[in-house]
Amino acid sequence: MKQLKSDMKNTWSQTKELDDQINQQVNSDNMDTSVLNGLVDQKTKLIGDSMKLRLNAQNQVRAILTTEQKEILRTKLQAFEEQIGAKFKSCHAED
């Protein structure tokens, strides 16, 4: 888990740097589309890498849980997803 924390911190640091570079390109007088595309591709890869790290960590945690603990976790995650879904729906409801 310490490695995950370190990897995630590094990933988000790199993401911040890419965000700064993307903003610099977008706000420049002569934006270079090919450079911007390359930066976006790099950021996309970093996001994918961070998702893989997080999912791998979740798998490691689930591997040590008992059946009862897995059921509790599943129930809580389902409730959380429903709560987020309701918020999303209310934010995007048409007036």
- Measured between alpha carbons, how far is 36 from 76 in angstroms, rounded to an integer? 40
- Measured between alpha carbons, how far is 15 from 46 in angstroms, rounded to an integer? 7
Task: Supply the range of the domain harboring residue 95.
Answer: 66-95
Tens of pLDDT along 37-67? 999 999 999 999 999 999 998 999 999 999 9
Tens of pLDDT along 27-37? 999 999 999 99
CB of 8 closer than 8 Å to CB of 53: yes
18 and 51 inside one domain: yes
Q: What is the pTM of this model?
A: 0.70
Q: Is the model's pLDDT at 8 over the cut of 90?
A: no
7 and 47 inside one domain: yes
60 and 70 inside one domain: no
45 and 78 inside one domain: no
Q: Looking at the 3D structure of the chain, how many domains does it have?
A: 2
pLDDT of residue 5: 82
45 and 88 inside one domain: no
